[in-house]
Amino acid sequence: MDILYSREELATQRNTWKENNMSIGFVPTMGALHQGHISLVELSLKECDKTIVSIFVNPTQFNDPNDFLKYPSTLDHDLELLMNAGCDAVFVPTVDIMYPQGTTENKIHIELGYLGTCMEGLKRPGHFDGVVQVVHLLLEMVKPDVLYLGAKDIQQVRVITKLVETMRLPLKIITGATVREYDGLAMSSRNMRLDKQQRKVASELYRVLNEISQQYGLTDPSVLTKSYIELLNQTPGIRVDYIEIVDFQTFMPLKMWNKKGENLVCVAAWVGDIRLIDNVLF
């Protein structure tokens, strides 16, 4: 597996692959890798000739400086996981390599409409601007044929899809299913920061999402949302940021149920000072 640090090394690698008519699958990450990330790498390995992963903790997408400072970093372990998975190359840039003219350069504006101002867009001001900025830069450098994203960050998937459509980038987006721990907790790099007690209560998030999905067609979405926010807030150690039942495409809150398979329930909650998100499509 090649470890690429500079833009030049990355360009040489991808150009060599392209000259040999190879398809390139790309998995952007912020490191502290787990099986959720590796599942995307495995999808790419199956479908593309070459697979490249980026590891870059992008400062511009953190609205909370504390979250950025405490974001876990496990580079040696990450490289070992990627090597064992059979990944072809990993791009590990520094902030200076990504933003040589400073982090305020290379900002692009994508009209996100409601998608940009609901849920994560509302609760984390500037977050999606940073995501769009870094993903656009990475896509310009890697120029992949296929981009692999995780359903765990479903709103991010929609935002990046909008970026790709707006900029008319010639690539396909594949969304991989959320990989979960034995008790249903969605795998996340931030889970590493949970202590034993927090780790135990964190599985309530998925349990609640599942319970809500099982009430499909029985109780009105807005009534369900309200009662489950109250219920989850009663769990010691958990503070709900939002629970929303929305249309799977527009992300508008549902007043009435959609057809089966087109309802999405999303949660964001604080477990101590760690903010976790999850969602279930039903």
Using the structure block, give the residue that is written with the tokens 């909370």: 64
State which amino acid sits at residue 41: V
Q: Phi first, then psi: what are they for 149, rounded to 5°?
A: -130, 155
**34 catalytically annotated:** no
Asked if 183 and 203 count as a contact pair (C-beta separation under 8 A), the reply is yes
CB of 227 to ligand AMP, least distance (A): 27
Q: Which of 43, 150, 228, 243 binds ligand AMP (CB under 6 A)?
A: 150
Instruction: Enumerate residues 6+ apart whose C-beta is below 8 A from 245.
Output: 212, 221, 222, 224, 225, 253, 254, 263, 264, 265
Per CB under 6 A, does 52 bind ligand AMP? no
Closer by beta carbon to ligand AMP, 188 or else 215: 188
Closer by beta carbon to ligand AMP, 30 or else 119: 30
Exactly one of 34, 37, 127, 136 is catalytic; which is it? Answer: 37
Q: Which of 187, 224, 265, 276 binds ligand AMP (CB under 6 A)?
A: 187
Instruction: Give the Cα-Cα-Cα angle 255, 261, 267 (nearest 5 degrees).
Output: 60
Per CB under 6 A, does 176 bind ligand AMP? yes
Per CB under 6 A, does 13 bind ligand AMP? no
CB of 21 to ligand AMP, least distance (A): 27
Closer by beta carbon to ligand AMP, 147 or else 224: 147
Per CB under 6 A, which region of 76-84, 105-113, 182-190, 194-202 contacts ligand AMP?
182-190
Per CB under 6 A, does 130 bind ligand AMP? no
Per CB under 6 A, does 189 bind ligand AMP? yes
Asked if 71 and 32 count as a contact pair (C-beta separation under 8 A), the reply is yes
How many residues can be counted in the chain?
282
Per CB under 6 A, which region of 36-44, 74-82, 222-230, 235-243 contacts ligand AMP?
36-44
Site for ligand AMP in 65-84 (CB under 6 A): none
Active site residues: 37
Residues that bind ligand AMP (CB under 6 A): 29-30, 36-37, 39-40, 149-150, 152-153, 176, 178-179, 186-189
